[in-house]
Structure 1
Amino acid sequence: MNVSFYIAKRYLFSKSSNTAINIITWIASVGVIAGALSLFVVLSAFAGLKEFSLSFTNKFDPDLKVLPASGKYFKVDSFQKAQLQKHKDIALYSEVIEERVLLSFKSKNTPAFIKGVDTTFPAISEIKNAVFLGQWLEEDAYQVVLGNDLSRKLSAGVRDYSGLLSLYVPKPGKGQILNVKDAFRAANATVVGIYSINEELDKKYVFTDIGFARNLLQLSENEVSALEVKVSPSADLNSVRNDLEAIFKQKVEVKDRIQLNDSLYKMLNTENLAVYLIFTLVIIIALFNVIGSIIMAVLEKQQNSKTLLNLGLTKTEIQRIFFFQGGLMSVAGGVVGLLLGVLVVLSQLYFEWIMITPSLAYPVKLEFINVLIVFLTISSLGFLASYISSQTVKRSLR
């Protein structure tokens, strides 16, 4: 094997007397380099897009969210609150009330979700930093913070005292409704702030104090829609999840960020896989040049191969020469392509050549896992192509 490997290296770096073979070899090498470069750059771009997309949900979603196993609400008694406060891996928790409402400001209406939060909520979520106009809620006040999209739909500004924002929720019950006003409970509040996270959240939530939400929905003091939990950095999420389920005696379900955004994660992972497969197909097409290059080398070195056979090398050992030659060509091309790809990604990170908006550069992320994926893909497909092309040695030595 050492003899085969040594001769393969000599063949790889030596120049052929046939110009056509030299051109084919260069085309094959450039194809492998371009394939590795493009695959790595695209995977890095998708990693950046994934991180950029999830950064919005990470600002808003907690580490763990406790939801009722059935129905809209569940009760949290004083003993359960004490257990939550004493838990070594739970840094903070916040009580939350969520319900669908109809917002009305002057003559404009739009549906939304009210989200009543307590004073701990801003420490769990980065929502307070997303308020770009006005201020965050005061405790026990009839105030709301609107999403940017909701604010535009309602034409509602901050502290616009020419009219209060009205919130309507349907009353539970049965039977025929004769008066539409009897079907809803209503409350008025002042818009004190406007936040902006992303389009989906900006048009969905209106934040208010949890006391205001409970009064509007006529809930008791210990009823909540959810508990949003911030865990310690070193904590094991699965362990905390099991503890939370035990505290509430399996009457709740506990979801992490991935489960809360299951469709988003599935979409991003599916897109990433699809792009990987498409560019792998491009690499496979490029490796046909490697197959052609090795076959041409086998034909050119046919006389040398017969000489090596007479000197005592077996057909298998001679076959390995061309197998190693193709494999080395693929690995070397992959390494060069990866180095160029890393330089491209780093240049985008530091110099921001490509911009999405005047203030936002196209997101990319340099990850070791992508380096490993590209290297293994190029190497495995390259050696497969080399094995296929090296089979012609046996026929040439008959």
Structure 2
Amino acid sequence: MQISFFIAQRYLKKQGKTTLIYRLSKLSCYSMGLGTAILIVVLATMNGMEKLLATLFYTYMPTLKIESKIGKTFIADKQLKEKIIDLAGVTAIVEVLEVTALIQLQHQQALVTIKGVSPNFIASDFYKNCTRMDGVNFLAEGQPQAIAGIGLSQFLQWSTAKKTSKNKVAVFYPKAGFYHLHNPYKRLTLELGGFFSIAKKIDSRYMIMPIHFVEDLTDGLHKRTYWEVVIPNMADLESTQTSIQKLLPNSYKVINREEQNETRRRAIFIERLAVCFIFALVLLLASLHIFFMLCMLILHKQKDIRILIALGATPNQIGRVFFYNGLLVALKGILYGLVIGSTIAFLQQKFGIVTFTMGHTKVSYPIEMHGLDGLYTVIVTVLFSLLATLWPVKRAMQLARKSLGN
């Protein structure tokens, strides 16, 4: 093996005048390096885009959410709640009861989603991620208040400038049963206490109210849509989720943000898979340079093959010479590609060289490197390089056996 490797190294070096074989080996090396660098940058860009999408679409979702597997609501269990809060890494549980109701302000109406929250709402991820939150004083002089999304308030032309009856909003919710035909809706009123803004999708159709008000509106005492588990350390997310799931009965489940967005996560995964497949084909085409380089090298070195056979080399050793030659070219190109791709990704991540416009501000193009992406790239490029050497190596061994027979 040492002799075959030594000869393969010698074939890579420039000897005398620049030959076609030397140029082909350089072209093969550079093409593999370029393909590797492109794949590294593309995967890092995909990682950055996933992170950006998470900040855009997941901000209004709790990090961990406990909900019922059966039905939309469940009855709050104080003992279970205390057990979960006692777990290491859990700081609070915010209770939420969400319903869809009709609201009316003066002569304007809208169908909205009402988010009833417990008094410790300020500990929630929703509150922390809001870009605007006028206040969370849900009780003013003993009367419940609502906080409306900024888009919803603009649609209905609400104002909190003056404490007048115009700030009074009527909330209508269907009564349960068939015996309310003449008066099918329950009607409660409360004042608008402020506005919030977190995401356009939520701002245009959500209102936040005290949970006891929503219980009274829906006649759903102690009913909850979900519990939001507040954890300060995201590094312990997986272990905390597992610990909570062990405490929960079979009718409950705890899900993280990615699991709450299963459809979007699957779409991103399919897109990432498609991009990786396309650029893997680019690497496959780049590996063809190694194939043609080895074919030309074998034709050029037929005299050397006969000399090596005469000196006692076996066909397997001859095959290893060209196998190592192709592998060395590929590894050299992969090394160049990893260095170039990682450098480009690092510079973009550190200095934000490439930017795009979001709204009225310029944002650096998101990019984030993962170690597994580099491993995936190396595995794919080495595999394609090995495939590219199979036929040339087999051909070299056939020529060696032919020379041995003669």
TM-score, normalisation: structure 1:
0.88
Query: 2:46: which partner in 1?
Result: 46
Residue 203 of structure 2 is matched in structure 1 by 202
* Distance apart, 1:339 and its partner CA: 0.7
Residue 171 of structure 1: which of 169, 172, 175 is its match? 175
**Superposition deviation, residue 256 in structure 1:** 2.4
User: How many angstroms apart in 2 are the aligned matches of 1:336 and 1:151?
Assistant: 56
1:61 touches 1:125 (CA, 8 Å); kept in 2?
Answer: yes
Alpha carbons 1:170, 1:185 under 8 Å: kept: no
Match of 1:267? Answer: 267
1:376/1:229 CA distance change after superposition, 3 Å = same
Q: Which amino acid aligns with 1:215?
A: D
1:1-398 → structure 2 map (5 Å cutoff): 1-15=1-15, 19-56=19-56, 59-132=59-132, 135-141=134-140, 142-157=144-159, 159=161, 162-174=166-178, 177=181, 182-183=184-185, 185-197=187-199, 199-220=200-221, 222-231=222-231, 233=233, 234=236, 236-245=239-248, 249-357=249-357, 358-397=361-400, 398=402
Give unmatched runs, 5+ long, in structure 1: none
How many aligned positions are there?
Answer: 390
| Overall identity of the aligned pairs, in % | 24
Q: 1:290 to 1:165 in 2, by over 3 A?
A: farther
**How far apart in 1 are the matches of 2:316 and 2:155?**
75
Are the aligned partners of 2:89 and 2:231 in contact in 1 as well (CA < 8 Å)? yes
Whether the aligned pair in 1 keeps the contact of 2:145 and 2:193 (CA below 8 Å) is yes
Provide closer, same or farther for how the CA distance between residues 25 and 146 of structure 1 changes in structure 2, counting only shifts above 3 A: farther
Distance 2:351 2:78 in 1: 55
Secondary structure (helix, strand or coil) at the match of 1:228 reads: strand
Q: Does the 8 Å CA contact 2:90/2:232 hold for their aligned counterparts? A: yes
Q: How much has 1:83 moved relative to structure 2? A: 3.0
Scaled by the length of structure 2, what TM-score is found? 0.86
Q: Report which stretch shifted further, 255-264 or 150-159.
A: 150-159
Name the aligned partner's letter for residue 394 of structure 1: M
User: Any idea what SS the aligned residue of 2:70 has?
Assistant: coil
Query: Which amino acid is the alignment partner of residue 364 of structure 2?
Result: A
Look up the SS of the partner of 2:194 in the other structure: strand
**How many Å apart are 1:349 and its aligned residue?**
1.4
* Cα separation, 1, equivalents of 2:246 and 2:289: 58
Q: Could you tell me how far 1:31 is from its partner in structure 2?
A: 1.5
Q: Report the secondary structure of 2:216's partner residue.
A: helix
Q: Using the TM superposition, give the Cα deviation of residue 239 of structure 1 relative to its aligned residue in structure 2, in angstroms.
A: 3.5
Whole-angstrom CA distance in 1 between matches of 2:86 and 2:120 = 16
Residue by residue over 1:236-274, the C-alpha shift from the partner in whole angstroms, topping out at 9 and shown as x without a partner, is 2354233431xxx43323222232121122111111111
CA distance in 1, matches of 2:300, 2:17: 9
- Cα distance in 2 for partners of 1:70, 1:205 equals 25
What amino acid maps onto 1:298 in structure 2? I
Matched residues in 1 for 2:159 and 2:310: separation? 92
Instruction: Note the alpha carbon deviations across 1:246-303, whole angstroms, 9 max, x for none.
Output: xxx4332322223212112211111111110110011101111111011111111111
Counterpart-to-counterpart distance in 2, 1:152 and 1:15 = 77
Q: Which amino acid aligns with 1:101?
A: A
* Greater Cα shift, 261-270 or 155-164: 155-164
8 Å CA contact 1:299, 1:396 repeated in 2: no
Q: Which moved more, 1:13-22 or 1:257-266?
A: 13-22
Match of 1:90, SS? coil
Q: Distance in 2 between matches of 1:159 and 1:364?
A: 44
C-alpha separation in 2, matches of 1:64 and 1:175: 40
* Mapped contact 2:174–2:186 kept (Cα < 8 A): yes
CA distance in 1: counterparts of 2:16 and 2:263, whole angstroms? 55
Q: 1:77 to 1:242 in 2, by over 3 A?
A: closer
Task: Tell me, in whole angstroms, the C-alpha distance in 2 between the residues paired with 1:145 and 1:335.
Answer: 56
**Alpha-carbon distance, 1:24 to partner:** 2.9
Aligned-residue CA RMSD (Å): 2.6
Gaps of 5+ in 2: none
Distance in 1 (CA, whole Å) between partners of 2:212 and 2:380 is: 57
Distance 1:158 1:334 in 2: 63
Secondary structure of 1:391 counterpart? helix
* Aligned equivalents of 2:182, 2:16: Cα separation in 1: 94
Cα offset, 1:104, TM superposition: 4.0
- What secondary structure is seen at the aligned counterpart in 1 of 2:72? coil
* Aligned mates of 2:391, 2:109 — CA distance in 1: 68
Partner Cα distance (1:176, 1:166) in 2: 19
Give the Cα separation in 1 of the matches to 2:218 and 2:315: 84
> Compared with structure 1, are the counterparts of its residues 393 and 16 closer, same or farther at alpha carbon in structure 2 (3 Å cutoff)?
farther
Q: Quote the Cα distance in structure 2 between the aligned partners of 1:45 and 1:331.
A: 24
